[in-house]
């Protein structure tokens, strides 16, 4: 099993990551990847309140990124936090009135739309899960279903290690209907004594049985981890996961997945 794209990676901008985007691209080239998705955190974990557009101007200038760099295709993405049980994403309720240079802004966009409109795709993940405490499985399932309906969300991020139970079949079936993917995240095999890896394995098995696509990602926070999916690949080979359901097995397939998901 040879996966040629890493579609969940972080740079210095994420604040707890340690490499530049060019260092990540060079690492991708060195390991033989065809495509890199750079998906920094779009989240309340980055900056203290109050929200300010200036803190997120990194995302407003992604048009400066070359589409191919050192021979590797480069996609513009972000990992956006799911912040409530409706599945809303970070910034959905913040309307700004000034541009990054403090000119008046009357465009009427919320911060979520302002950022995600510029993205090729979005990964929707749960990080802070305090809002799920006491929620029923029906409510957390609706949370993930709501996130899947976001016009830019292509991938549900690391649901196997978020620690939020949900109705796996219901979410996977809807993801399949929308042409979207469930992430199997390499980092999930390296934390909490392997508990998350067991959940990820169960999700992967169910994806195979239901015909739902997965995205195999490193969630790399430093360039040396780019493209290194060893634990995930071992698990997928053990369960004989069908390679045709791996959305990022090569650049052509991943770009076609984005196209077919009809992201807004």
Q: What is the DSSP letter of 47?
A: S
Q: Quote the percentage of the chain above a pLDDT of 70.
A: 99
Tokens of 104: 């008046």
Task: Write the pLDDT tens digit of every residue in 8-54.
Answer: 999 999 999 999 999 999 999 999 999 999 999 999 999 998 899 99
pLDDT of residue 15: 96
Best CA proximity match to 241, nearest among 216, 217, 205, 210: 205
Between CA 246 and CA 122, with CA 84 as vertex, the angle to 5 degrees is 35
Task: Write the pLDDT tens digit of every residue in 180-189.
Answer: 999 999 988 8
pLDDT of residue 187: 87
pLDDT of residue 225: 98
Task: Write the pLDDT tens digit of every residue in 55-87.
Answer: 999 999 999 999 999 999 999 999 999 999 999
Q: What is the average per-residue pLDDT within 97-104?
A: 92
Checking if the pLDDT of 173 tops 70, the result is yes
Residues 6+ away with beta carbon under 8 Å from 156 = 123, 124, 125, 144, 147, 148, 171, 175, 180, 181, 182, 183
Q: What is the DSSP letter of 90?
A: T
Q: What is the average per-residue pLDDT within 245-263?
A: 97
Q: What is the DSSP letter of 38?
A: E
Tokens of 129: 């899960």
Name the pairing type of β-strands 153-156 and 72-81: unpaired
Q: How confident is the model at residue 196 (pLDDT cuts 50, 70, 90)?
A: confident
| pTM for the full predicted model | 0.97
Euclidean distance between CA atoms 91 and 118, whole angstroms: 14
Checking if the pLDDT of 194 tops 70, the result is no
Between CA 39 and CA 172, with CA 155 as vertex, the angle to 5 degrees is 165
Question: Which residue has 């469930």 as its token pair?
Answer: 182
Question: Which residue has 């049980």 as its token pair?
Answer: 85
Range 5-260: architecture per CATH? Alpha-Beta Barrel (3.20)
Dihedral sign for Cα 25, 27, 32, 33, please.
Answer: negative
Residues 6+ away with beta carbon under 8 Å from 252 = none
Euclidean distance between CA atoms 136 and 259, whole angstroms: 34
- How high does pLDDT run on average in the chain? 96
pLDDT of residue 43: 97
Domain ranges of the chain: 5-260
Question: Would residue 9 be called left, alpha or beta, if left means φ above 0 and alpha means ψ between -120 and 50 degrees?
Answer: beta
Residues in the chain: 264
Checking if the pLDDT of 193 tops 70, the result is no
N- to C-terminal Cα distance for the chain?
32
Q: Quote the percentage of the chain above a pLDDT of 90.
A: 91
Euclidean distance between CA atoms 216 and 2, whole angstroms: 11
pLDDT of residue 26: 98
């Amino acid at each position: 099993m040879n996966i040629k794209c890493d579609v969940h990676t972080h740079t210095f901008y994420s604040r707890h990551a340690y490499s530049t985007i060019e260092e990540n691209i060079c690492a991708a080239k060195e390991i033989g990847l065809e495509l890199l998705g750079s998906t920094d955190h779009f989240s309340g974990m980055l900056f203290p309140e109050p929200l300010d557009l200036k803190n997120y101007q990194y995302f407003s200038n992604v048009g400066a990124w070359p589409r191919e760099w050192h021979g590797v295709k480069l996609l513009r993405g972000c990992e956006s936090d799911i912040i409530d049980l409706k599945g809303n994403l970070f910034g959905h309720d913040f309307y700004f009135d000034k541009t990054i240079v403090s000119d008046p802004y009357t465009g009427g966009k919320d911060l979520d739309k302002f950022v995600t409109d510029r993205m090729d795709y979005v990964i929707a993940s749960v990080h802070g899960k305090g809002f799920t405490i006491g929620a029923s499985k029906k409510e957390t399932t609706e949370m993930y279903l709501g996130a899947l309906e976001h016009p830019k969300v292509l991938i549900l991020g690391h649901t196997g290690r978020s620690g939020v139970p949900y109705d796996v079949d219901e979410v996977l079936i809807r993801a399949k209907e929308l042409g979207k993917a469930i992430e199997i995240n390499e980092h999930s095999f390296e934390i909490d004594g392997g508990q998350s890896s067991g959940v990820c394995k169960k999700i992967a098995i169910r994806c195979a049985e239901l015909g739902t696509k997965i995205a195999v990602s490193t969630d790399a926070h430093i360039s040396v981890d780019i493209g290194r999916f060893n634990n995930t690949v071992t698990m997928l080979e053990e369960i004989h996961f069908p390679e045709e359901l791996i959305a990022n097995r090569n650049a052509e397939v991943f770009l076609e997945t984005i196209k077919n998901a009809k992201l807004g």
